[in-house]
Chain A
């Protein structure tokens, strides 16, 4: 495994396709992933900025299950919070640490109080300003006022209020630039609130602005739309959005998503939902998306393995990625669904070209037992995704070729009976209705 990591690292360093992505963190991430459950929290956190970094750290601390990692995550979250102004979060994290990190990491009451006091003053000042603007009815200033309020609430972790303030700026937007800004703000808050309906709404609003958008904004919107679709379990749409994301994204949207995430989300969703030709055309041959894939070589490799039908190694990569993906704030809920989908796809693709398949060989290719494989195949056959039948005695899977002639006869007869039944029932109903109207007209007379 180590040897593989080295070679992958080498590939990445040689590749100049992504000059602004920090090579260090990429390499670090590679080792993180390769190392299985030993996750390098620091490198991971370095990919993000702003509140999402804290949120992700806290998420990891909650889910990881190993105390060392948990404390590491909490320590970094603590440091990060001290740089900001969210006293509420500070209290929460201090309580979670519960003194386990020594005297430096305890609740700093004085700091929290001073932050609160300053916040109170600032809020008052903002309110006064806003009231002034409102009496003067200067649109632009009102917008700025609300915007400042939004920023203020956001920094202090009052997301609901931040959301409202940002939405209020909408009435005072005069140029499409303002609208874009408003949309991006709303999207940012909504993502953190977990309200992805709003995200997709505001993405489409932003995309409808008449002026053409710059590449970075487009990339941001694509990512947001992708996330919204991912949360709505529309994996195919999510995959499309992530794949369309331009390389301009770079590190410009780290308060929401890192380019590595685009590769992972997009790659996995594509594997789970695209068919073979689509996969080749839109993912493997896509120069734009290749840039992203280079950042996470495992995903690139596993997509190539999947396409080249090297399922064992593909599934192995997936298994190695799994513990870390489960710690991802957006993907964790979907990992299992996506994995089953990918696995089913792989099994279907494996059986497709054969008339008969030896289950022992197949189980080897999928690194599972014959009984386990039989169960999986059973489900797929029942759902009519594989046309085959299992010879459980000799452990062979036979492709099933429906007899066209017999099937036609059967269907014709069945259609005939159904038609007959339907017609009789229909005539009866028609007569009943006719009778009803007869009754009515009789009553009228």
Chain B
């Protein structure tokens, strides 16, 4: 009890002076065991004495010790409030001294929120991410937790602000897999399939030495989204780890078969295939996506017709894409025109559809601006790329490794006559 009070006094005294923070940190570390044994009982009292915004570091340690014990359900509401309060008001500089503790607290918050089934209350984690990050390129463990809560709360838009950052620095590979997997799901939920595909692509092609379940699930979704978006599944790019190339297909057989069936372009076949495998898709929670694959086949087939025909009657369209009535065909064509997926006009008098070329002439100001902005973005990117290249080629580890692999120059290398002529 005494020591606890002394500790609180230290916290209050040292927190204000930035130079003394490391000292405080070591003090806190020393008293960690004591905190753990006595903390759960005393914590509410101690926490009351501290100001989360000024004494963030000490507050964090005590809070963590408090949370390491069990929390009864009637305390839970108050607990949530105090943690969220802390996250919102704490000082980033102080908590970054003890990131492990902070992450622990956040994890407890996530668990509680999920247990109470109020995922929306976990939105505070977004603030936590921002406070924990040193730059927006850094991926923290909280990222994936936050995205998971967003998915559970079905508030996909909340997750976007995190997903739109470019992630470059990663601590744990697992965080990355989860981050992009959840990211893929969120984009699928928002029907932004292109970005969803990018996220899933990152999971599938990420370096891995052993196969993991996240990658397998991601590959399943990757296949489905590829079909919706492009009508075909690309083969693995060559930088994909050999583990993934060798094993992923074995674990996703129904999906591979589905894509083969899709390629044949026959609606009835695909429908039958999905019907016969419905339990598998259901158990993977992918049935909704599979149904979207099925309906995308209509679109794809209609799009194919625009490549071949200038005019075509609705009846012929219905026959070609296996729709029952010309009316349905008209609905589909109409929707695709509205969505800008095809360029066509329907002549209702004689039931003809005329397909047009893309009317975009690349002459408008907006287009010029768009092109210009793209160029600017790419230039910035290539600048970055060059600087990274320079960095790597100056990296001593890299240089010494390359030097070792390449044999030393000897006299023969400078011989102007190639060997085969000698």
Contact = CB atoms under 8 A, between A and B. Distances in A.
Contact of A389 (B168, B308, B374, B384): B308
Interface stretch (B54-62, B255-263, B311-319): B311-319
Interface in B376-392: 377-378, 381-382, 384-385, 388
A279 B381 CA distance: 52
A313 to B, nearest CB: 29
A39 B149 CA distance: 78
B377 A423 contact: no
A373 to B, nearest CB: 13
A378 interface: yes
Contacts of A398: 310
Given A390-B309, A421-B198, A428-B202, A433 B170 contact: no
Given A393-B352, A424-B166, A428-B202, A405 B308 contact: no
Given A381-B308, A413-B374, A427 B202 contact: no
B309 A391 contact: yes
A440 B350 CA distance: 72
Interface in A371-418: 377-378, 381-382, 389-394, 398, 403, 405-406, 409-410, 412-413, 416-417
B307 interface: yes
Contacts of A394: 311
A419 interface: yes
Contacts of B201: 425
Contacts of A413: 371, 374
Contacts of A412: 371
Given A413-B371, A416-B374, A429 B239 contact: yes
B84 interface: no
Contact of A435 (B170, B311, B312, B388): B170
Contacts of A403: 357
Contacts of B171: 435
B362 A378 contact: no
Interface string B378-409: 10011011001000000001000000000000
B361 interface: yes
Nearest to A394: B311
B403 to A, nearest CB: 17
B339 interface: no
Nearest to B382: A423
B207 A433 contact: yes
A177 B283 CA distance: 69
A419 B384 CA distance: 14
Interface residues of B, number: 44
A110 B206 CA distance: 77
Contacts of A410: 358, 362
A243 to B, nearest CB: 36
A91 B7 CA distance: 107
B308 A378 contact: yes
Interface string B142-174: 000000000000000000000000111111010
B205 interface: yes
A432 interface: yes
A195 interface: no
A131 B163 CA distance: 83
Contacts of B316: 392
B302 interface: no
Contacts of B307: 381-382, 389
Nearest to A391: B310
B413 interface: no
Contacts of B312: 390, 392-393
A431 interface: yes
Interface in A181-220: none
A432 B309 contact: no
User: Which 6 A-B pairs give the minimum distances between C-beta atoms?
Assistant: A393-B311, A409-B362, A391-B310, A381-B308, A392-B312, A389-B310
Given A416-B375, A423-B385, A428-B176, 19 more contacts: A378-B309, A381-B307, A381-B308, A392-B311, A393-B311, A394-B311, A405-B362, A410-B362, A421-B198, A424-B381, A425-B202, A428-B167, A428-B168, A429-B206, A432-B170, A432-B173, A436-B173, A437-B397, A441-B397
Interface of B: 166-171, 173, 176, 198, 201-202, 205-207, 239, 304, 307-313, 316, 350, 352, 354-355, 357-358, 360-362, 371, 374-375, 377-378, 381-382, 384-385, 388, 397
14 contacts: A389-B307, A390-B312, A392-B313, A405-B362, A413-B374, A416-B374, A417-B374, A420-B378, A423-B382, A425-B202, A428-B170, A428-B202, A433-B207, A441-B397
